[in-house]
């Protein structure tokens, strides 16, 4: 509640995420978002006299769960694809899948789900509870029926909490041997019991983590794993990563890992790692690589690995080059292994990867498209204009004024922009940034209109009996081609108007309270600046 006109500052933690002016009376703040975890939310109300009122309470942000009154659901029918890796696209039995979740309160979300075929089905529930002080707790349960395997059941409980530099995660899930899930050619192996627990903490001495897992598959002994990790940023370019990993079960093993990560620039990465286990195997790896460009460009990588084990010593060298060209991606790589089981071996690989797309009446050949794409074009076509996707340079437009963006994420909001400095000075651009969204496995044309600026100058004058006087310091409304333009006049009646269409034009203003009209011709011209001379209008003494 604001008692007088006030400024409202809204903080999540110590980050200002909203500032606005409010009128006296009640106000609310809705639909704010932040990354996960517990944060202190503060509302600071400051009135015109500088008096402040602070309202604070804890809030837990989570990606799971719904606000009160919201639904999230999907009901689907289809068929199971049996051959995921084949090219024939073989589909088998008909199947269905459905879920529906509802936010009963801001803290509690409940839902139901089911999937299956004619011969096997499962159904269950989902529950999410978000607590400002405790974090997020979720519970999932299900039962299944299979005409061949019988009935089964499953349950999953998880807990997550994140606050500032501390985080913890716990999950326990159990599946009966006969629990049936919707699957294709390969039946997934569900664990009899799977327990995982992780705790992490970040200090000025680095980030520490401890994790424990206990996994038991049906018909197999229990397998336990413990992991202790430490990451220390030495500078903005250099960091150390280490971990120790211990396995208990049929196989007992301890592994130690030390890694050095160096990023001298935004597009160059170097790493050096060493791994040792109790079986006596030692592996040292060096990697030097450049960033793979999102658009056109060249990337390279050079890797070298030295391994010592009971079988002997080997050295592997792997250089690789990738060229993202306009119409395809070309890669070449080689590997040389010295001291391997088959002796010294060398292998070479070369590949060309591309695609052909069509959308909005435009066709193009380009690099491989993993999800969705967009064609950016200028109208009229203009070559050599730099184009950016989400602030990253992709390349320049071709002779047809187009460039294709191949890494668009479907259903997400993407932004395309062009470099206005590449546009000649005699042209103007309405917008240099455009946002858009594309469905999966689809494309969209994003057009940037570029208008050539044609300027017209001259002098407006009017008659006063036998005299012709300049029309100074008034606003003349010019109508041409069905559009209206405003032309303020200056000393001696001089005016300046941009982009008048050719043909007859009509001007209108007032002189001493009386309307004054002008009629003149706008010529066809390719010049950037055209003089229309002296344009004389009404007689002010009539």
**pLDDT reported for residue 40:** 82
Q: What separation, in Å, do the N-terminal and C-terminal C-alpha atoms of the chain show?
A: 64
Strands 108-116 and 91-103: antiparallel
Residue 491 phi/psi, 5-degree rounding, is -60, 135
**Residues 438 and 460 both lie in one domain:** no
- 520 in the same domain as 473: yes
- Do residues 461 and 438 both lie within one domain? no
381 with 394, same domain? yes
**How many Å apart are CA 336 and CA 340, to the nearest integer?**
10
Residue range(s) defining the domain that contains residue 32: 6-61
**Predicted pLDDT of residue 87:** 52
Residue 125 falls inside a structural domain: no
Domain count, the chain: 3
194 part of a folded domain? no
At 334 the pLDDT is 96
Tens-place pLDDT, residues 292-348: 887 888 999 999 999 998 778 899 999 999 999 988 999 999 999 998 777 889 999
Whether 88 is in a domain gets the answer: no
Question: Is there a domain that residue 253 lies in?
Answer: no
Question: What is the predicted pLDDT for the residue at 29?
Answer: 82
Low-confidence ranges of the chain (pLDDT < 70): 83-89, 541-542
Q: What distance in Å separates the CA atoms of residue 464 and residue 263, rounded to the nearest whole number?
A: 77
User: Does 511 map to a domain?
Assistant: yes
Claim to verify: residue 447 and residue 506 sit in the same structural domain: no
Statement to judge: residues 364 and 407 lie in one domain: yes
- DSSP codes of every residue in 9-33: EEEETTEEEEEEEE-SB--------
| Predicted TM-score of the model (pTM) | 0.63
Q: What pLDDT does 89 receive?
A: 59
Under a CB-based contact definition with an 8 Å cutoff, are residues 365 and 355 in contact? yes
Answer with the one of 37, 61, 85 that is the final residue of a domain. Answer: 61
CATH number at residue 442: 2.60.40.2610
CATH number at residue 14: 2.60.40
- 508 and 444, same domain (yes or no): no
Domain end residue (candidates: 451, 475, 492): 451
Token digits of residue 60 = 């837990």
Asked if residue 380 has a cis previous peptide bond (ω within 30° of 0), the answer is: yes
Same domain, 401 and 482: no
Among residues 417, 451, 485, the one where a domain terminates is 451
Judge whether 321 and 300 are in contact, CB under 8 Å: yes
Are 459 and 477 in a shared domain? Answer: yes
């Amino acid at each position: 509640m604001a008692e007088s006109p006030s400024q409202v500052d809204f903080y999540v933690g110590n980050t200002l995420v909203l500032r606005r002016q409010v009128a006296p009376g009640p106000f609310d703040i809705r639909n704010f978002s932040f990354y996960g975890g517990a944060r202190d939310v503060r509302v600071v109300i400051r009135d015109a006299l500088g008096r402040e009122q602070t309202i604070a309470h804890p809030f837990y942000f989570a990606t799971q769960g719904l606000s009160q009154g919201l639904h999230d659901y999907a009901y689907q029918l289809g068929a199971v694809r049996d051959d995921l890796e084949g090219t024939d696209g073989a589909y088998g039995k008909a199947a269905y899948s459905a879920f529906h979740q509802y936010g009963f309160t801001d803290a509690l979300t409940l839902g139901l789900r089911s999937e299956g075929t004619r011969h096997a089905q499962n159904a269950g529930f989902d529950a999410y509870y978000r607590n400002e002080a405790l974090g997020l707790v979720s519970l999932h349960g299900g039962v299944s029926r299979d005409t061949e395997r019988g009935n089964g059941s499953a349950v999953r409980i998880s807990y997550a909490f994140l606050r500032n530099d501390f985080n913890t995660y716990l999950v326990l899930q159990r599946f009966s041997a006969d629990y049936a899930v919707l699957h294709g050619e390969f039946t997934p192996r569900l664990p009899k019991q799977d327990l995982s627990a992780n705790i992490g903490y970040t200090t000025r001495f680095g980030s520490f983590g401890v994790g424990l897992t206990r996994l038991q598959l049906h018909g197999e002994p229990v397998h336990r794993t413990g992991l202790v990790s430490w990451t220390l940023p030495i500078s903005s370019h250099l960091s150390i990563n280490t971990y120790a990993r211990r396995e208990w079960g049929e196989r007992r093993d301890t592994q130690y890992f030390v890694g050095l990560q160096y990023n001298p620039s935004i597009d160059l990465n170097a790493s050096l790692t060493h791994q040792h286990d109790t079986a006596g195997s030692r592996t040292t790896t060096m990697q030097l690589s450049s960033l793979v460009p999102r658009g056109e460009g060249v990337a390279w990588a050079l890797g070298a690995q030295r391994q010592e084990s009971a079988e002997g010593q080997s050295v592997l060298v792997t250089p690789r080059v990738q060229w993202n060209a306009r119409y395809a991606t070309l890669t070449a790589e080689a590997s040389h292994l010295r001291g391997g089981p088959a002796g010294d071996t060398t292998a070479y690989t070369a590949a060309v990867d591309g695609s052909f797309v069509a959308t909005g009446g435009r066709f193009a050949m380009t690099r491989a498209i993993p999800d969705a794409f967009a064609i950016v074009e200028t109208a009229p076509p203009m070559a050599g204009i730099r184009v950016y996707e989400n602030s990253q340079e992709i390349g320049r437009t071709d002779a047809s004024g187009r460039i294709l963006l191949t890494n668009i994420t479907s259903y997400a909001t993407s932004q395309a922009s062009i470099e206005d400095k590449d546009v000649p000075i005699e042209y103007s651009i309405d917008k240099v940034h455009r946002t858009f969204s594309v469905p999966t496995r689809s494309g969209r044309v994003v057009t940037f209109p570029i208008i050539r600026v044609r300027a017209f100058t001259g002098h407006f004058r009017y008659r006063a009996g036998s005299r012709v006087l300049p029309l100074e310091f008034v606003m003349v409304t010019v109508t041409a081609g069905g559009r209206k333009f405003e032309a303020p006049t200056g000393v001696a009646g001089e005016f300046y108007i941009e982009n008048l269409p050719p043909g007859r034009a009509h001007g209108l203003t007032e002189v001493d309270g009386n309307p004054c009209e002008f009629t003149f011709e706008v010529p066809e011209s390719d010049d950037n600046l055209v003089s229309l001379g002296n344009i004389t209008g009404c007689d002010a003494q009539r």
